[in-house]
Amino acid sequence: MTVCRTRQGEVRGRTSPDGVTSFLGIPYAAPPFGALRFRAPAPPDPWTGVRDATTHGPTAPHAPYAPPFDALIPENHIPGEDCLNLDIRTPAPEPGAALPVMVWLHGGAFTNGSGSASGYDGSAFARDGVVCVNVNYRLGSDGFLHLPDRPDNRGLLDQIAALRWIRENIASFGGDPDRVTVFGESAGAMSIGTLLTTEAARGLFRRAVLQSGACHHYLRPASARLIAARLAERLGIEPTPAAFEAVPLPELLAAQGELRTAVSADPDPARWGEAVLNMMPFEPVRPGLTLPGPDCDVDLLIGSNREEYRLFLVPTRRLQAFPESSLRAMTAAYGLDPGEALPVYRDARPDATPGELLDAVATDWFYRIPAIRLAEAVPGSHLYEFAWRSPRFDGTLGACHALELPFVFDRLHDPSYAPLLGDRPPQALADAMHGAWISFAKTGDPGWEAYDKTTRTTMTFTTTPTAVPDPRARERLLWEGVR
């Protein structure tokens, strides 16, 4: 057993045979319940003696993913109120080691996920000389529901509280508080996109990796009020903090899941606001889109997967059943002229079905174009695209959303990833991708040229990773001027 000191007290971790020491379930804030429900995170209470940190702490309350995603995306459920906690894995648990630090913010549409899922085990990062920290933060209504007289974006406030805790304590675990890289996927990456322009987060991280999410997704306050009203209506209560606090947690979580289904079934902007486009009723609340500018002092690595939207079309059997009329309607909803845009997408995919074209258009709107815009806004950023195609679902799953995760974490053999990966995923690709993330955290350079508007260099991660100029330029140009 190994003991390290934090400002709240000492913690005891466990060292594995490969030399990685894990400290699990350390609270970075007080339990967000009782008088602290729907409030900004409060500091954790100190303790006396040595606190055991050899088992994962509670996860933020969330309902399971709905089928079929419950079998495809890794997460876990650990009950308990002390859910604002983090895990640390380090190769050198001692002050003075001054190793780079990587802080993981998990995805899950702001309603699901947990930092302690086995697929996010950061041991490979620690093995390669990085202190890896995984954060749990509030989700769904507790984290992101807009409520009167309560702070918005409580889940983001949790993330900031965790980053402050890391800055104050990580040196004891061998980390350098001035060399922190925050990295996240999907909702985790979208969180980082917001943190980049949040004054309270300034100075808490030096580098950032945004995987399949950027600065694109948020709810304006008027839309956030609509979401709160719809949830209250479903529960038969007034949309007030006291009323939501009185709802039993299982009932509230079930209603959150029903809300997302309702948005999909009735995509009326008058009822749901911006949520009708991405079907995410819980998101950061912001008055408008804000991008960091050339004076951004954070190094950025940004990217997306080539066929992100197939995760939502293939397992649900929508890919081949999607009608042409709906394709045209969705393309228009994303802000493109279907008569102009769809022929361009079809030129590169002459045999594509409407569902396959929807994948291409939605992937661009949701993931690729926001990544490009962020890279354009911050000179010196590095851009990537993950293009290795999964053999699952007879090869139709493609380079879908979340597929890059086992490669980034170098956990191809974690059982939780098998439903996405299939048999014999290429270890050489994991070596390349994981190695690029390590290099970026250590030096700010992942191994290829920075993105600029002239060359638009993009690293394409396939079996043979290759840096290429401006992939699918004609399709990119369609989005000029579209939010």
Nearest by Cα to 219 from 159, 302, 153, 298: 153
Catalytic-labelled residue, pool 308, 385, 404, 475: 308
**Is pLDDT of 483 > 80?**
no
Q: How many CA atoms lie within 13 A of 315 on its CB side?
A: 18
Across the range 265-282, mean pLDDT stands at: 86
Peptide bond into 419 cis (omega under 30): no
pLDDT per position as a tens digit, 37-56: 999 999 999 999 999 999 99
pLDDT per position as a tens digit, 302-312: 999 999 999 99
E strand or H helix at 435: helix 427-443
> How distant, in Å, are the alpha carbons of 285, 353, 369, 437 from that of 377?
22, 34, 12, 21
Spatial distance between the Cα atoms of 420 and 412, rounded to a whole number of angstroms: 10
| 186 is annotated as an active-site residue | yes
Q: DSSP labels for 157-209? A: HHHHHHHHHHHHHGGGGTEEEEEEEEEEETHHHHHHHHHTT-GGGTTS-SEEE
Chain centroid to CA 104: 9
Query: b or e along 320-348 (b: 16 or more beta carbons within 10 Å of the residue's beta carbon)?
Result: eebeeeebbebbeebebebeebbeebeee
Q: Which amino acid is at 111?
A: T
Contact 461, 388 (CB under 8 A): yes
Spatial distance between the Cα atoms of 321 and 351, rounded to a whole number of angstroms: 15
Nearest by Cα to 303 from 441, 460, 109: 460
Predicted local distance difference test score (pLDDT) of residue 461: 98
Catalytic-labelled residue, pool 186, 191, 304, 381: 186
Confidence grade of residue 32 (pLDDT, cut at 50, 70, 90): very high
Helix (H, G, I), strand (E, B) or coil at 79: coil
State the alpha helices, DSSP H only, in 236-294: 241-246, 249-265, 269-272, 275-278
Catalytic-labelled residue, pool 106, 382, 401, 434: 401
- What residues pair up with 209 in beta bridges, in sequence order? 183, 301
Tokens standing for 427? Answer: 């270890």
Q: Which residues, at least 6 apart from 461, have a Cβ–Cβ distance to it below 8 Å? A: 384, 385, 386, 387, 388, 404, 407, 429, 432, 433
Q: Which residues, at least 6 apart from 442, have a Cβ–Cβ distance to it below 8 Å? A: 100, 129, 130
Phi-psi region for residue 203, left (φ > 0), alpha (ψ -120 to 50) or beta? left
Across the range 227-250, mean pLDDT stands at: 96
pLDDT per position as a tens digit, 417-458: 999 999 899 999 999 999 999 999 999 999 999 999 999 999
Spatial distance between the Cα atoms of 23 and 115, rounded to a whole number of angstroms: 13
Predicted local distance difference test score (pLDDT) of residue 217: 79
Contact 127, 208 (CB under 8 A): no
Pairing of strands 382-386, 175-185: unpaired
Tokens 């804000």 appear where?
Answer: 290
Contact 381, 350 (CB under 8 A): no
**Is pLDDT of 267 > 90?**
no
| 401 is annotated as an active-site residue | yes
Across the range 256-272, mean pLDDT stands at: 86
> Which comes out higher in pLDDT, residue 75 or 439?
439
Please work out, in degrees rounded to the nearest 5, the angle formed at the alpha carbon of residue 17 by the alpha carbons of 15 and 23.
20
Nearest by Cα to 101 from 119, 116, 84, 88: 88
Q: How many CA atoms lie within 13 A of 115 on its CB side?
A: 32
| 308 is annotated as an active-site residue | yes
Predicted local distance difference test score (pLDDT) of residue 299: 98
Pairing of strands 10-15, 2-5: antiparallel
Helix (H, G, I), strand (E, B) or coil at 347: helix
Predicted local distance difference test score (pLDDT) of residue 478: 97
Across the range 144-153, mean pLDDT stands at: 96
